Amino acid sequence: MGKPTGFLEYPRELPLAQDPAQRVHHWHEFHEHADGPMLQKQGARCMDCGVPFCHTGTLIGGMASGCPINNLIPEWNDLVYRGLWKEALERLHKTNNFPEFTGRVCPAPCEGSCVLGISEPAVTIKSIECAIVDKGFEEGWIVPELPYKRTGKRVAVVGSGPAGLACAAQLNRVGHTVTVFERADRIGGLLMYGIPNMKLDKRTVQRRIDLMIAEGVKFVTRCEVGKDLPASKLREDFQAVVLCGGATKPNDFFAKTEGRNLKGIHFAMEFLHANTKSLLDSNHADEKFLSAKDKDVIVIGGGDTGTDCVGTSLRHGCRSLLQLEIVPMPPLERAADNPWPQWPKVYKLDYGQEEAKALWGEDPRRYSIQTTKFVGDGNGHLKEIHTVLVEWVKDNGRASPRNVPGSEKVLPAQLLLLALGFSGPENQLLDQLGVEKDPRSNAKAEHGTFTTSVPGIFTAGDMRRGQSLVVWAINEGRGAARECDRWLMGETALP
């Protein structure tokens, strides 16, 4: 695929991004597309490797290796190289309902397992993917595709995040009448309110939702199933139900820490959700969000959510910012126990840390730090946090943190954001439906079948597997749609 000698002739190049010190003053997406000739060269770097790992979609060492939705990456790289953009779009849509989302927010495990990446910088798969689908919209190639006929079967999808949307799109494609229930005031779930606008413009999300509406999918907002609509009513009105409600209970590892109830301590999603809603409702004029302006901000936890808290706080105009992680700093290059094609656990600057460094000259992250106490100002508001360095000591093969004596520090903070992941789905709906849960409190169902303990009820995404990537949610939504269709019709043509 691509040009046989392309990987020898062309270096890896990424599209230009706006200067980090400038883009913190607005909420718009800051990555631009490269021009056609540059993208063709990048597609040419796909090296006809014989056994491509980029689309394997397996779990190695607990992390994704290759694309979880098995994108036909070498094929559309080759088509872009040859200038056959419309054909590339057709290949891309065969496996991915929403490449405009993954092309923007996916961490690209495909690039981590690119064969070229063993010895040279990997192919720029993610940016090519995003360029293909955006060109498809610009050229008018992406239009509503209504099903050939309706089956008369009604399916309810609970949750409109990436799993719910993928499931609804697939079920609608084969002719079922699909209604998606969302408790928020806008459709999109995590895509709408969990990911900041500068990372995923909400007009991009709405564009795809409008397309799905034109194709016949019905969306109901401000309706929490199990509260606003009894679960029993759902079973009466629909022949099948797919639960895609996500894993929305945040972890709180500091629940018993002194000072945890002080004002100014918030979960990351509380901060991010309110910020985006206020931005969309009033461009922040309503002030119905948690502002970091002129505050000393500390983010505890890493990952994408921690980075999003960093980028959002900077745009508010925070006075200072630190991001604390209890784990050690990753190595600059792959460690011996992290070989290709595993996801490379190496040190890098994501967009938020890049912006902080541009403003203040250094990465805001501090590693191997444990928070021991929260201290107030006497009026119930957070004033500072107490921390200590930790060293990781192995005992019976397992590493655990141990405090380093004399390393205690006090850090000023008026806003503390906890980006510590999620413990599982909320229980109310699962309990009402009588769905069995696994030991981690997720809806119990096997990957591949997605069938719960209750006949006719399926589950997908974070509600089934726990907190994960958008691309895994799309994988599961498509899979649950396939099995739901099989259950309704006795057979299925869905992939």
| Whether residue 186 sits in one domain with residue 130 | no
How many domains are there within the chain?
3
| Whether residue 263 sits in one domain with residue 405 | yes
pLDDT tens string 235-248: 999 999 999 999 99
With respect to residue 42, please indicate whether it lies within any of the assigned structural domains.
yes
Task: Please say which residue of 399, 420, 441 terminates a domain.
Answer: 420
Where does 268-347 show beta strands of DSSP type E?
A: 296-300, 320-324
Indicate the pairing of strand 382-395 with strand 369-376.
Answer: antiparallel
Please give the radius of gyration of the chain, using alpha carbons only, rounded to the nearest integer: 23
| Whether residue 188 sits in one domain with residue 132 | no
| Whether residue 235 sits in one domain with residue 260 | no
| Whether residue 23 sits in one domain with residue 124 | yes
What contacts 71, CB < 8 A, 6 or more positions away? 54, 55, 92, 95, 96, 110, 129
Share of the chain above pLDDT 90, in %: 92
| Whether residue 401 sits in one domain with residue 299 | yes
List Cα–Cα distances, 47 to 125, 288, 446, in angstroms.
12, 51, 36
| Whether residue 90 sits in one domain with residue 226 | no
Closest CA to 176 of 490, 491, 484: 484
Do 157 and 237 contact (CB within 8 A), yes or no? no
Q: What is the mean pLDDT of residues 111-115?
A: 95
Q: Report the pLDDT value the prediction gives residue 213, as an integer from 0 to 100.
A: 98
CA distance 330 to 344: 10
Average pLDDT over all residues of the chain: 95
The answer, yes or no, to whether the previous bond of 68 is cis (omega within 30 of 0) is no
Task: Please say which residue of 420, 437, 456 terminates a domain.
Answer: 420
With respect to residue 313, please indicate whether it lies within any of the assigned structural domains.
yes
Token pair of 133 as six digits:
């689908």
Closest CA to 96 of 40, 170, 22: 170
Q: Report the pLDDT value the prediction gives residue 64, as an integer from 0 to 100.
A: 86
Q: Report the pLDDT value the prediction gives residue 48, as an integer from 0 to 100.
A: 81
CA distance 147 to 151: 10
Q: What is the DSSP string of 441-463?
A: SSBP--TTT-B-SSTTEEE-THH
With respect to residue 144, please indicate whether it lies within any of the assigned structural domains.
no
- Structural domain containing residue 453: 154-249+423-489
With respect to residue 494, please indicate whether it lies within any of the assigned structural domains.
no
Element of type H or E holding 288: none
Q: Report the pLDDT value the prediction gives residue 32, as an integer from 0 to 100.
A: 83
| Whether residue 77 sits in one domain with residue 10 | yes
| Whether residue 264 sits in one domain with residue 355 | yes
Q: Report the pLDDT value the prediction gives residue 1, as an integer from 0 to 100.
A: 63
With respect to residue 289, please indicate whether it lies within any of the assigned structural domains.
yes
* Burial class of residue 428, CB neighbours in 10 A (0-12, 13-18, 19+): middle
List Cα–Cα distances, 39 to 44, 132, 193, in angstroms.
8, 10, 31
Q: Report the pLDDT value the prediction gives residue 398, as an integer from 0 to 100.
A: 86
Between 50 and 211, whose confidence is greater?
211
CA distance 227 to 428: 8
Task: Please say which residue of 76, 109, 138 terminates a domain.
Answer: 138
Q: What is the DSSP string of 160-175?
A: -SHHHHHHHHHHHHTT
Q: Report the pLDDT value the prediction gives residue 16, as an integer from 0 to 100.
A: 87
pLDDT higher than threshold 90 for residue 422: yes
Sign of CA dihedral 224, 230, 231, 237: negative
Q: Report the pLDDT value the prediction gives residue 291, as an integer from 0 to 100.
A: 98
Q: Indicate the pLDDT class of residue 437, thresholds 50, 70 and 90.
A: very high
pLDDT higher than threshold 90 for residue 33: no
pLDDT higher than threshold 90 for residue 274: yes
pLDDT higher than threshold 90 for residue 397: no
* Burial class of residue 140, CB neighbours in 10 A (0-12, 13-18, 19+): exposed
Q: What is the mean pLDDT of residues 430-437?
A: 95
Q: What is the mean pLDDT of residues 195-201?
A: 97
| Whether residue 437 sits in one domain with residue 405 | no
With respect to residue 143, please indicate whether it lies within any of the assigned structural domains.
no
Whole-model pTM: value is 0.95
CA distance 310 to 353: 7
| Whether residue 306 sits in one domain with residue 256 | yes
pLDDT tens string 443-469: 999 999 999 999 999 999 999 999 999
With respect to residue 19, please indicate whether it lies within any of the assigned structural domains.
yes
Q: What is the mean pLDDT of residues 374-401?
A: 94
| Domain at 56, CATH number | 1.10.1060.10
Closest CA to 124 of 199, 73, 89, 51: 73
Indicate the pairing of strand 415-418 with strand 296-300.
Answer: parallel
With respect to residue 1, please indicate whether it lies within any of the assigned structural domains.
no
| Whether residue 203 sits in one domain with residue 262 | no
Q: What is the mean pLDDT of residues 410-436?
A: 95
| Domain at 339, CATH number | 3.50.50.60
